[in-house]
A and B are shown apart, each in its own frame.
Chain A
């Protein structure tokens, strides 16, 4: 099998893994949304809840990992305020680092958790009901749409601002090459997220995933 991502690539291994996990999260959220809108959820609220709870677990893992791996890089020693930013009259000279810190974009969970909670609240009101009534469906759709929008916005920032920043930092090192970003070191089943990704990614995504896992295992 040809490697889609190899260790000789300039790309950071952590970024590639984060990017794939992000891709799996958005793809799965899209599926949950489509199933709800097209009303092909035969199990009603309970079925929805199962899929969504799995998604939340992976999302929380993703959030923890990005905090753990990215924060030391994207967080400066002291937090900046708009006052401290180096502005030049007439032209923009805010660095990616300043921008991320200024807009609070490295703390995605802060914005996203309330949206997840809103959806869980709708589900909680419906516990015990097997049928999804139109009103509940509407409220779930609204909640999921808010969540999707926020996550896609975040993905833009991740790909255009955060990753380039990480790639130019000192993380392209031995640590990066051997990083187990996708492994849950605190769980008995360390690869549970990887398994979930295999079920959620497109064929191309899975190829990329296997390739990078292969590269990491050869380095360890």
Chain B
């Protein structure tokens, strides 16, 4: 069967069960759009291509599917870069289609030509420039396969305009075969056996989990393993929700703004079993004082993550799901359920840390941002899908909203991209039309992609934005307060906008609270509003996130409230 490039693209998208695309048109992709409208695929027209990528990213995180974007050449393509880098750092499966000038013009500085394959090379898992229509189907299939398999990540496919109108033979569903790409899922059983042996001997074991547990869909198996063997669990920002945040074994988040008990537990632990993590500096603090007494087990699908930052005792390359299934079988055979007595004193030590140094804040007459999150948690019964912007808002969200399920906390962990939360919320809402989706935002970050309110309105997506409005780039201000003698250089954002009016200008609901006694009412109004809404909470301006480990210090040396 001979089809045009654009028709082949649609066929392969169908093969890959793609029903949702976030995009923005232009000259180089006009032929694709002309074809797209003849399909069943729902296209969401964003207001900025960065928004398209974050929305596809939020969609992917919330649904577990591959997120798809379509943008034009030149500026359309360059506008996607921040979104792609965000997804790359957090290992999120995306396929980004960019338009390109016709093949005969490539290299001529043609109108809206840019070498997006060159630009995106270091922030994609892989990328392609399609040079022949006959390669198109194979490349698109490979792109999806690479994006979702192994350690997932974004893959970019650059589509020259002429290829989209050239006819080529289309063969249905041929499985991609890439001889140099074979992700290694099955962990070494002997190595796993050693982990069981170490657990038997350990007095103070800790499980440390990250995004890999969520990506491999192994939360259930992890929870079973932790509960059976009574090992307390901490997580990186990316791992939040992989283990129930209301379980007694839950330690809270680890690292720079981790809980006292989590950081102390790592300091005291004699066995650290880490899964699907990469020991980011925000988690480890000063490297040579991280888990100083512990033997370290590291299970990850990406060999480059292992032994990169932290020397480990037992390296295991493999998928967390496979590893946990085996570990659970072995745990059962080895009666790990008969928890040794020593474990009881370890758990009571942790309880003591929890009760003496819980997450805390001082109340004043102003609205405390932490209080807003606590109330949001109560009113949504902990069931909302939470996205965040970046900064203090993100850390308070992680600290005060307790996630019981994976895929419910969607945040830019690795790149820390301000402007992520709103478009990501839109993507999550598209994936789950009936769930409450809330973007916990800062007044600074929300302005980086506020234009996506129009997207939410156009498609009747009832996303809720909770702005913790401190009129500061709060996280940077906090560093200036603590480490730069309160020299608040360029972090004050006094001049608005009026977010309530802004919401209304978009046709959305707008609500404001300026006093603590208004918080619950505003949350109720905003959450129950029929459609997208912005809630503007005028919070304590110079509130800081605690605990805090100064950059480069050991994580057990925390500044507390």
* Chains A and B come from one and the same complex: no
- Residues of B in contact with A (beta carbons under 8 Å apart): none
